[in-house]
Structure 1
Amino acid sequence: MSSEFAPVSGRFWTPGVKIMLVLMVAGAVALAARFIGGLGYVTNNNDAYPWGLWIGVNVAGGVGLSAGGFTTGAIAYVLNRKQFHQIVRPALFTALLGYTFVVLALMSDLGRYWNITSPMLNWNGTSVLFAVAICVMISTSILYVECIPVVAERFSGRIALPFGRGINRLLEKILDVANRSVHKAMTVIVIVGIVFSCLHQSSLGALVLIAPSKIHPLWYTPALPLLFLISAIATAYPVVIFEHLVVGRSLDRKPMMGLLTPLAKAMPFLMGFYLALKTGDMLYRGTWVYLMDGTYQSNAFLVELLIGVVLPFLLMLSPRVQRSPEWLLTTSTLAIFGVLINRINVFLVAYTPPYGGSYFPSVGEITVTVGFISALMFTYRLAVTKLPVLAVLKEEESR
């Protein structure tokens, strides 16, 4: 490879970073109130609506948008497209942060948050939720293993803990062995990660299949696990492109269009396949009759379908869009919006309890969600300035 990875130098405390810090503090205060006073003290959840914004966005949305690491890893290691190694590492690191914050967000939403380890101790092979929990745990662990080279390159030969020279030598040896082992087995590790990622992406959609009378017909379908899986795969490349372009603008780095354009060319096929499945399922089940009934569910479905799927699909067909950083950023944002609004629709908008009640997220819920997103962005920016996450390219490669 003609590139190396290195921490990014430059000014850290920009106005944007300071705003993120303020939002993080606000979210931490709201989160502290949740753990001190309980869920009812901060959220608007009730007996009719036991879950809300935190499940729809922080968990379901976060999982759906974290598939970029495994999908990009499949191109670089399974298909052996070595030129994509330059964007695999930041994609894997972004996915690692995404899954980590999903776990933290899930702890926030659990009434008895200390039971988050229960699936590891109490196995239930007939539970879809158990399958989601175990697969997410394994996928998260695999991402941490895949990011060992980032830590090894940063601290190899530099460990100087105040525990004595012998302990430091032992840690150096462990880090070196782990790094070499990961490099040798990376292809196998990526394949295992892909398998478990596919399992939990689909099983997350299977969760709502157990409540056929509570989900609007526009979204309730036996094909929902497949739709969740394909939508996550279709949005993986937009997430990678979005992350690369936003980080590049923030850190004054030139976009690697030689790598982004090939990813963009694959997007119409993936998004087109998802669009065909979604519309075909709707036509087969005859639920298209609900599209124009004027309810907030039908309007939300139209927004999800037209703005979040059809529009980015049509835009990505254009070679001009595929070669333009500005258009790629816009189109990727629309695609990300599509999968995020889909998860919100399935878990919140489509949900209709059999008895009365209403739900709208509280200020505390919104504050915690914004705080988590800000914390993820802040952590990523801090990491790329301290760890070799981003590739340092030659001048001719960045054009």
Structure 2
Amino acid sequence: LNNQYPWGIWIGIDVAGGVALAAGGFTTAALGHVMHREEFHAIVRPALLTAMLGYTFVGIGVCIDIGRYYYIWHPIFMWNGTSALFEVGICVIIYIHVLYIEFLPVVTERFIGRVDLPGTLARFNGRIDSLLRLLDRGLSRTMFVFIIAGVVLSTLHQSSLGTLMVIAGPKMHPLWQTPILPLLFLLSAVSVGFPMVIVESLLAARSFGLKPEMEILSKLGRLTAPLLGLYLAVKIGDMFIRETFVHLATFNTASVMFMLEVLLGVVLPLRMLMSRAVLKSPPLLFTAAALVVAGVLLNRVNNFLVAYTPAYSIGSYHPSFGEFSVTVGFIAILVLLYRAAVMIFPVISLPDRGASARAKYSIRG
């Protein structure tokens, strides 16, 4: 990073990529709670935890990237209603709080009836337990508000990230620059939500020695195929309308990266997810889902790094060792916190109270 290249992988991967890959939180919430697909409630909590940690590190990444982290509070009080970046910032700030509120029922379930403070603090056990029960009852009546808010906020800032690059205008390569970039960003985020849940669930099952819930994950893979197909149709259709496909014949870095993004990140996993053999095989399903995740991550890198050329740039951008170290460190800490949370809270193993407990916070139609 320098004065010619003010943003790099911290924005392309840590922020833009992190926001996209955390989309599993709002997609599974919409599927399980809003659409009343009760069979998917088992994967809502792991997806929520992934989204909560992901957005937390997105916020930390922004603090590091802007340099003057002590100004991070400015958007809260200094509004600019015509700024796409302001909309992204406000939505992310609110959505982080919504995610933590949605996770509170997991905390109350873990500690209600189990508060056991040591020593003199034991006198507060009863009061804390009563407070947790009161909080749980309040959340059971109001959680539908936060579920709907989470879905709406996610659709807003996912698309507004695309608006940021539309504003870049001629600084963007024609293969990616399009007026419908906000729509493409939203469609790609929705498309990667379920594959990210599949990848996370299979990795967690292997890490904790659990049997993967292939019945649920196969259904998620089946739902992903039409979403990928819609995204691909809109993307290719836009290329033909704007006649930007001619830039693929140049075979430069931009055209190669674009073809890798579309062929390996969309076309190949789409074909795989249309196969019953893939949907029933954990390794093949994991491969297909991982390709979608890699494709969307590559899309964000392409948009924010490959396609974008600052007006006064000289040469090309190459991330420093320090930039790589921060990104890798974030990923390592996120995985560590996820594992710790799963071991402390009832995230993966649901209580033996049947479907009624799983649907406790569903939106009733």
TM range (shorter): over 0.9
What is the deviation of 1:185?
A: 2.9
Q: Is the CA contact (8 Å cut-off) linking 1:90 and 1:389 kept in structure 2?
A: yes
1:164 deviates by 4.6
Q: Which has the higher contact order (CA 8 A, sep 6+)?
A: 1
Deviation at 1:161, TM superposition (A): 6.5
Cα distance in 2 for residues equivalent to 1:222 and 1:163: 63
Within 5 Å, which residues of 2 pair with 1:61-140? 61-140=17-96
Q: CA deviation at 1:124?
A: 1.2
The answer to which of 335-344 and 169-178 deviates more is 169-178
Tell whether 2:320 aligns with 1:362.
Answer: yes
Task: Indicate if the aligned counterparts of 1:77 and 1:186 stay in contact, CA closer than 8 A.
Answer: no
Aligned amino acid, residue 329 of structure 2: G
d(CA) in 1 for partners of 2:189, 2:336: 24
Letter in 2 for 1:353: P
2:286 aligns to what?
329
- The equivalent residue for 2:174 is 217
Whole-Å Cα distance in 2 between the matches of residues 140 and 356 of structure 1? Answer: 34
**Which residue of 133, 138, 149 maps to 1:176?**
133
Taking the aligned partners of 1:378 and 1:212, their CA distance within structure 2 comes to: 40
Counterparts in 2 of 1:147-296, with a 5 A limit? Answer: 147-159=103-115, 160=117, 164=121, 167-296=124-253
Q: Which SS does the other structure have where 1:292 is aligned?
A: helix
State how far apart, in whole Å, the 2-side matches of 1:196 and 1:314 are: 31
Residue 122 of structure 1 deviates from its aligned partner by: 1.0
Q: CA deviation at 1:303?
A: 0.6
CA drift of 1:163 comes to: 7.0
CA gap of 1:353–1:169, structure 2 versus 1, over 3 A, is same
Code of the residue aligned with 2:105 in structure 1: it is: P
Residue in structure 1 matched with residue 359 of structure 2 by the alignment = none
Runs of 5+ consecutive residues of structure 1 not aligned to the other structure: 1-44, 395-399
Distance 1:84 1:72 in 2: 8
- Deviation of the 1:202 alpha carbon: 0.3
Per the alignment, residue 376 of structure 1 pairs with: 334
Task: Give the 3 Å change call, closer, same or farther, for CA 162–340 of structure 1 in structure 2.
Answer: farther
Shift of 1:162: 6.5
Cα distance in 1 for residues equivalent to 2:266 and 2:164? 23
Using a 3 Å threshold, how does the CA distance of structure 1 residues 355 and 123 change in structure 2: closer, same or farther? closer
Structure 2: segments with no counterpart, 5+ residues: 353-365
Cα gap change, 1:251/1:356 in structure 2, threshold over 3 Å: closer, same or farther? same
Q: Deviations over 1:66-114 (max 9, x none)?
A: 0101111111111111121111111111110111111111111012111
Percent identity at matched positions? 50
Matched, 1:301 2:258: yes
Stretch deviating more after TM superposition (253-262 or 226-235): 253-262
Q: TM-score of the superposition, structure 2-length normalised? A: 0.92
Q: Which residue of the other structure, out of 313, 332, 346, is the alignment partner of 1:388?
A: 346
Segment drifting more, 304-313 vs 176-185: 176-185
Aligned residues: CA RMSD: 1.6
| 1:343 aligned partner | 300
Paired amino acid for 2:76: M
- Tell me, in whole angstroms, the C-alpha distance in 2 between the residues paired with 1:280 and 1:154: 49
8 A Cα contact 1:161 1:168, kept in partner: no
Q: Secondary structure at the residue paired with 1:291?
A: helix
Instruction: Report the alpha carbon displacement of residue 165 of structure 1 after superposing the two structures with TM.
Output: 5.5
In the alignment, the residues of structure 1 paired with residue 263 and residue 91 of structure 2 have an alpha-carbon distance, to the nearest angstrom, of 32
Partner SS for 2:22:
coil
Aligned to 2:114, the other structure's residue is in SS state coil
SS of equivalent to 1:391: coil
- Cα distance, 1:289–1:249 mapped onto 2, change above 3 Å: same
1:10-29 to 2 correspondences below 5 Å: none
For the pair 1:50 / 2:6, whether they are aligned, the reply is yes
Cα offsets for 1:202-245 (capped at 9, x unmatched) = 00111112210211011111100010000000000000010000
Residue 152 of structure 1, CA deviation: 0.7
- TM-score normalized by structure 1? 0.85
C-alpha contact 2:5 2:313 (8 A) present in aligned 1: no
Q: Deviations over 1:161-202 (max 9, x none)?
A: 767566544433332222222223333321111000000000
Number of aligned residue pairs: give it: 350
The answer to whether the Cα contact below 8 Å between 1:57 and 1:343 also exists between their aligned partners in 2 is yes
CA distance in 2, matches of 1:87, 1:366: 31
